[in-house]
Amino acid sequence: MDKQFNDLASMRRNYDLEAFDLTQANENPFIQFKKWFEVAIKSGKIYEPNAMTVASVDENGLPSARIVLLKEIWEAGFVFYTNYDSRKGREILSGKGVSLLFYWDQLHRQVRIEGTAEKISREKSEKYFQSRPKTSQIGAWGSAQSQPVSRKDLEARKNELEEQYKDTDVLPCPPNWGGFLVKPTRFEFWQGRPSRLHDRITYELSPSDGTSDWIVGRLAP
């Protein structure tokens, strides 16, 4: 085996940029997220600060995860768009819950979000779809996402769609394509610290009275 892989156990970096304490945490996790998200955007160090891992669970309880892009932050949660017939779409629609993870390594930060997900309105999905570049619209129509395909057939389908819609700049939104709203029940904000004594601040949605109150706490690293 190559020496570089033999050295994996010794690979480590120290985290010493900032601290994050309960005294600094906003009582509203959405506001706290927006603060960190703004820092990630303005840092100029992160190629796609809105990239997030979406984890779901299949009918056998096996998890799967993939990277997607956050497109909107609503008062109720976080919105991304996908093919509803894809593996992630089917698993999310099963109602078993979903988890999001943002990792901004240059800032030594990550945010974990757990909750439920639901489709957004068709009207909102269509509005967003039609704001996308035409090439992305064609890609959505041309891909039976998560199904086996050859590169040759994929390119042929793209070429067919380009010819079919050559006289228009906007395609109709596919019926099986749209947005998901992830409604959080839990947040965790992680700030890397020296000696692996990281800061972990959590927000748990209070289930007791049906309000939107959040219980803020701290976990051992």
115 and 56 belong to one structural domain? yes
51 and 100 belong to one structural domain? yes
pLDDT at 47: 96
- Read off the pLDDT of residues 92-138 as tens digits, 9 standing for 90 and up: 999 889 999 999 999 999 999 999 999 999 999 999 999 999 999 99
Residue whose C-alpha is closest to residue 177's, from 140, 133, 147: 140
CA–CA distance, 172 with 62 (Å, rounded to integer): 35
Q: Which helix (H) or strand (E) holds 122?
A: helix 122-129
E-only strand ranges, 74-131: 78-83, 98-104, 109-119
141 and 212 belong to one structural domain? no
81 and 155 belong to one structural domain? no
Residue 86 lies in a domain: yes
* Rounded mean pLDDT, 58-85: 96
112 and 51 belong to one structural domain? yes
Q: pLDDT band for 43, please (50, 70, 90 cuts).
A: very high
98 and 38 belong to one structural domain? yes
pTM: 0.90
Distances from the Cα of 163 to the Cαs of 144, 156, 172, 186, in angstroms? 19, 11, 15, 47
- Asked if the model's pLDDT at residue 211 lies above 80, the reply is no
Please give the structure tokens belonging to residue 115: 């909750």
pLDDT at 165: 87
Distance of alpha carbon 212 from the chain centroid: 22
CATH of the domain at 101: 2.30.110.10
Residue 2 lies in a domain: no
- Asked if the model's pLDDT at residue 152 lies above 70, the reply is yes
90 and 119 belong to one structural domain? yes
Residue whose C-alpha is closest to residue 101's, from 54, 160, 42: 54
- Asked if the model's pLDDT at residue 3 lies above 90, the reply is no
- Enzyme catalytic residues: 196
Percent of the chain whose pLDDT exceeds 90: 76
Spell out the residues 6+ positions from residue 107 whose beta carbon is closer than 8 angstroms to its own: 17, 36, 39, 40, 43, 45, 46
Residue 210 lies in a domain: yes
Residue 107 lies in a domain: yes
- Asked if the model's pLDDT at residue 206 lies above 90, the reply is no
Q: What is the mean pLDDT of the chain?
A: 92
Residue 3 lies in a domain: no
What angle (nearest 5°) sits at the alpha carbon of residue 192, between those of residues 186 and 197?
95
Residue 8 lies in a domain: no
Residue predicted with more confidence, 53 or 211: 53
Residue whose C-alpha is closest to residue 52's, from 110, 3, 133: 110
* Rounded mean pLDDT, 81-94: 95
Percent of the chain whose pLDDT exceeds 70: 95
Residue 1 lies in a domain: no
63 and 155 belong to one structural domain? no
Residue 75 lies in a domain: yes
pLDDT at 12: 83
Range of the domain at 61: 13-130+175-219
79 and 52 belong to one structural domain? yes
Number of structural domains in the chain: 2
58 and 100 belong to one structural domain? yes
- Asked if the model's pLDDT at residue 160 lies above 90, the reply is no
* Rounded mean pLDDT, 193-197: 93
54 and 114 belong to one structural domain? yes
194 and 102 belong to one structural domain? yes
